[in-house]
Chains A and B, each alone.
Chain A
Amino acid sequence: MAAGEFTTSMVLAVLPEIGLVALAAVLLVVDLIWRGNTRRYFGWLTTAGLAVIMLLAVLFARPAVEGALVWGGMLRFDSAGFVFRMIFLAAAALTALYTAVTDSVRLHGEFYALLLVSTLGMSLMASASDLIMLFLAIETTSIPLYVLAGFILRDQKSVEAGIKYLLFGAMASAILLYGFSLIYGLTGTTQLYNLGAAFQAGAVPAVLIAAVIGLVLVGFGFKVSAVPFHFWAPDVYQGAPTPVAGFLSTASKAAGFAALMRVMAVAFPEQSALWSTMIAVLATLSMLVGNYLALAQKSLKRLLAYSSIAHAGYILIGVAAGSEFGWLSSTYYLMAYLVTNLAAFGLVAWVERNTGSDDLSAFAGLSRRAPALGLVMIVAMLSLGGIPPFAGFFGKLLVFASAIEKGMVWLVLVGIFNAIIGLYYYLMVLKTIYVNEPSDTAKLPKAAVAWRVALTICVVGILVLGFWFGPFYSYAQSAAASIWIY
């Protein structure tokens, strides 16, 4: 399609994005109108709106098999964009339900508007096919997230988390941008799909390409919280409002991976041996550092933060494989991680709300104070640890298989070794919940409806992704294929 030509299919390609902008605007207006008790329903309104957007996207905005560049080459309308967009919308909807019972933020309409704008940015990140669009999408994602992390102004921890996230994020995006400026300089184009050919021509020295890949990896390494660019993650997850931490660890990470996979596959296909090695090193470091530091944590939120760094490592194994199957496995892992980690963070949010603490000791004897929650925690922790038949197991199985297929056996051995360490601290959490004596034996109050709905969806998701493998596998497959075949 020639640039400048305008068709209705272009509008359909960004239908979910238009929906997100409209919904954010509606929330800001409603924020001015609603008074008193009705303000409690912001979370429900957001979730309902997101469900409608997802439905519309499935009905009207399904991409063609081969994919196409739209909006003058700024976006690529393909399955990868579609599948990841669904992941982000689902994560945002679940986060909105969790925040509907988080006292510090639930009465603020602008909180939900910012959440939606951030989701909009992620959705564009997954389909951006031009460096300018990609940069803009990354910042549209990040800037609202800085505000969300520091949203509770009365809570000094939250503000501190916001500042730390912003300072690290601004630095990482400046480094990424410097890489982008060099890419433009070396090739004379910002269109992602022309870069592969430009780098292939051999006119560019290999050292410069390596440097550019390094700079780009720093930027994306920050977004997916891979070691050694992970320093922000534990502090931000601990200080930010808990549902926001869940959103950061799932949707924001998935967006980083979506963009990383597209850039690497499309712009640097000739240098795959080089970036594959670099990513394998990042994966190894992330798994080792994340898991070892998680062992020593007393706060469950920090533990989940380090576990999230380790999971970034597992997902990077799939990326390091550098094949269509590798991309497939990473996408599947991200889906599994989404439901699993949102369940874990949702539970932490509820216990934190009722006991005022996210320390492991606050979870002691939870199985006696709230039996159902203990059961949910078993499902979430075993899925994180990669035990069949839960979702996390198939994610791990697929990423390891993709690395084996490429002959990276050492990487798989590191991964398996780390999965065992990970299992240790996940089981320690379960031991705290089931074996340790609670300091306070009173039952926890009955959970709010919104929260129970969200947690049920997460648990069902964990089981479905574990048992009913087929459809989600084929979604991941179509996403991976659409990145590789163009």
Chain B
Amino acid sequence: MIPLSWYLIAAAALFCIGLFGVLSRKNAVSILMSVELMLNAVNINLLAFWHYHTQLQGAGQITPQVFVAMVFIVAAAEVAVGLALIISAYRRRETPVVDEMTLLKG
């Protein structure tokens, strides 16, 4: 039986890797992928906690599983919009690198 804390540590590590990726990556696609890592860390957390609380209460809860499904759906929608925007920028500039997006500054 793997204890709860291992899952939480793994999720926290994944979250930190994702956050680091978001803050350090220059390519917009890589940033989106890093955000996905953060969202997956959330999913691991939710499912680990779901298992824990189910054992604790002796009855299965449905809400965390619904929550995880919602996170999937929203992540997919977010990526769809994100990639569409990145492609439309790429068509004009031939670059997905956010550092080169400097029309707006001040």
Q: Identify the A interface with B (CB < 8 A).
A: 131-132, 135-136, 139, 143, 146-147, 150, 153, 156-157, 159-164, 166-167, 170-171, 174-175, 177-178, 180-182, 184-185, 188-190, 234-235, 238-239, 296-299, 302
Contact = CB atoms under 8 A, between A and B. Distances in A.
A188 B42 contact: no
A132 B74 CA distance: 12
Contacts of B106: 234, 238, 296-299, 302
Interface residues of B, number: 45
Interface string B41-64: 110011011001100110001011
Given A164-B101, A167-B31, 4 more contacts: A153-B88, A167-B28, A171-B19, A188-B57
17 contacts: A132-B70, A139-B74, A146-B82, A159-B85, A159-B88, A160-B89, A164-B101, A167-B28, A167-B32, A171-B38, A175-B19, A178-B15, A178-B42, A185-B45, A189-B63, A190-B67, A239-B103
Contacts of A175: 19, 38
B18 to A, nearest CB: 7
Contacts of A185: 8, 45-46, 48-49, 52
Given A177-B42, A190-B63, A166 B104 contact: no
Contacts of B17: none
A352 to B, nearest CB: 15
A166 B52 contact: no
A150 B83 CA distance: 12
A164 B38 CA distance: 18
A162 B67 contact: no
B82 A170 contact: yes
A222 to B, nearest CB: 13
Contacts of A161: 104
B10 interface: no
A217 B74 CA distance: 21
A interface majority secondary structure: helix
Given A132-B63, A171-B38, A139 B103 contact: no
User: Which of A139, A177, A190, A296 has most chain B Cβ within 10 Å?
Assistant: A177
B88 A174 contact: no
Interface string B19-42: 100100000100110010011011
Nearest to A299: B106
Nearest to A162: B85
A24 to B, nearest CB: 16
A232 to B, nearest CB: 10
Contacts of A131: 67
Given A163-B86, A164-B101, A156 B92 contact: yes
B91 to A, nearest CB: 9
A414 B45 CA distance: 40
Interface of B: 8, 15, 18-19, 22, 28, 31-32, 35, 38-39, 41-42, 45-46, 48-49, 52-53, 56-57, 61, 63-64, 66-67, 70-71, 74, 77-78, 81-82, 85-86, 88-89, 92-93, 98, 101, 103-106
A181 B42 contact: yes
A64 B92 CA distance: 54
Given A156-B89, A167-B98, A181 B45 contact: yes
A350 B84 CA distance: 29
Contacts of A135: 67, 70-71, 74
Contacts of A181: 42, 45-46, 49, 67
A134 B101 CA distance: 32
A178 B41 contact: yes
Contact of A174 (B39, B63, B103, B104): B39
A132 B66 contact: yes
Identify the 3 closest CB pairs spanning chains A and B, nearest first. A185-B49, A174-B38, A181-B45
Contacts of A302: 106
Contacts of B89: 156, 159-160, 163
A299 B104 CA distance: 11
Contact of A150 (B19, B52, B57, B88): B88
A393 B81 CA distance: 40
A160 B103 contact: yes
A174 B8 CA distance: 16
A166 B85 contact: yes
Nearest to B21: A171
A27 to B, nearest CB: 19
Given A164-B101, A171-B35, A146 B70 contact: no
Contacts of A297: 106
A182 B42 CA distance: 9
Contacts of B77: 139, 143
A184 B48 CA distance: 11
A160 B81 contact: no
Contacts of A170: 32, 35, 78, 82
B75 to A, nearest CB: 9
A234 to B, nearest CB: 7
Given A181-B42, A181-B46, A143 B78 contact: yes
A188 B42 CA distance: 15
User: Which of A132, A161, A189, A298 has most chain B Cβ within 10 Å?
Assistant: A132
Given A132-B66, A190-B63, A163 B42 contact: no
